[in-house]
Each structure stands twice: as structure tokens, then as C-alpha cells.
Amino acid sequence: MFRTRSRTAVRLTLAAIGIVVAAVTAADNGPAETSTGGSFVGHLDRDDAVHWHPADGWSNGGMFNAGWRADHVRFRAGVTSINLSAATCPGGCSGKPYASGEYRTNELYSYGRFEARMKAVKSSGVVTAFFTYTGPTDDHPWDEIDVEILGKNTNQMQTNYFTDGEGDHETVVDLGFDASAAYHVYAIDWRRDAIRWFVDGRLVHQEDGSRGALPTHPQRIMMSLWPGIDADAWLGAFSYPGAPLTARYDWVRYTRY
């Protein structure tokens, strides 16, 4: 026999159900730690110190053969240009023979869609990158998701991801066009159970965790251009052409899930 509930009891029951649903949703879709950034569009036509900052005065080391310099991230003709040059190097380039730029968000971002409209550099030995990253400087393990255009063959894109420093998930995608000849939109769709890469709205690759656990920590959005060293088998040999090389980024968009 059913007993009629009071309105107060019904409201309390619905509230309890809402709490449970919210908790389940968070468990299904939420990251291991909370991100700090919400959805945004970065037009990249000017320096935006509220949301972005350039890396400056240091180098990644290892196979990176350039030091990061803030003056190698420039804003011209409505786009962000990242330049690779030999100006004042190695003295002004963290001991490296070349200088280049990396532009990164101040906040960290979690599951969502990361998009950039960009034009890559064609030159053996260099990488034009759009990626997400976090690591020890953010008090996190090393998590990363990559879009990389290798200058030795700009008709291809390389995807990769790292979880707690474990990588080796590279996949090479044939683009069907020259990424250095015009702007195209590259997207990373990152969810708890999958990472999908899109080019101009077309799905080109996906990972479901079967090759290794997927990243879970919120990450910074980054753009960079860099020459390699001791990586000829991967990137090809780099020879500075005598004039700066420039990667261009028209806009970046993040949609939070």
C-alpha cells in the first residue's frame, strides 16, 4: 500500500536524486583533478596576458635545439607568429644555437575540444606544434596530447599522447594537402574514454586507451615551433636557411565538456 508523500518530502527526494546524478556524471566525465579554465575563443591578434604568456629564458633540453624567447612570439596582421632564428645565439638563447617561441595558456583545461587554425613550417628538422601539456611544474604527472607537423613532410600530421610520462603512441596521418601552404583547422577532442583528432572537421585518428591509459589531468594549451637535434631519424636533419622560419596561428578555441 502506497502512502502519499508531502510536497516537502518530494522536494527533498528530488534534491537527493539530483546530488546522486551529479556525482555519477562527475565520475563518468570529470578529470582526476579540476581544471581552472572554461570555454573560450582566443583570436590571437594581440598579446593577451590575461589568458596567455610566452615561454622565456630557458630551453626544454634534450632534442630541442632552441631556447625559448618571448620576443620570438609576435602579433602581426591579425595572427600570432612564432619565429625560429639564430639572432644573438647561443649567448641569448639559453646556450642553444637557435631561438624560437612557445605560447601557453595561464590556466589549465580539462576534457573538451581544443582547436587551432594554423599554418605550419616546411623545413627538415623542425616541428610546428599545437598541443596540451601538464607536468611537475603544475604539480601533476606529465600528461600531453599532440598535433605535430614535421617540416620534412608537411603533407602529414603526427598525433601522440603521454600519460604519466608514458608516450610512444605516435600515429602518422596523411593530410591530403600541404600544411605549410595554407591555414587549416586542427582539433583534439579529449574525453575520459577517448581522444579523437580532426582536421578541417574530418575525423582522422582516435585512441581509446587500448594502447595505454589516456591522460586525465587538466593541461595547458600550447603552440610552439622548434628545431631538433640528435633526432634526424624522426625529424630529418635541420639546416638553418639563413632567414627566420615562421609558424602562424590564426585562432585557438576551447569548448569545455
Residue 10 burial (CB count, 10 A): 11
Which residues have CB under 8 Å from 116's CB, separation 6+?
Answer: 130, 147, 185, 186, 187, 223, 249, 251, 252, 253
One-letter amino acid at 199 equals V
Q: Is 166 among the residues known to form the active site? A: no
Q: Are strands 66-68 and 98-100 parallel, antiparallel or unpaired?
A: parallel
Task: Kindly state the cell numbers that stand for 78.
Answer: 591579425
Residue 234 burial (CB count, 10 A): 14
Secondary structure tally for the chain: helices H, strands E: 2, 17
* Residues 184/200, Cβ–Cβ less than 8 Å: yes
Of 102, 115, 148, 207, catalytic: 148
- Lookup result for grid cell 620534412: 152
Of 33, 102, 107, 144, catalytic: 144
Looking at the annotation, which residues are catalytic?
A: 144, 148
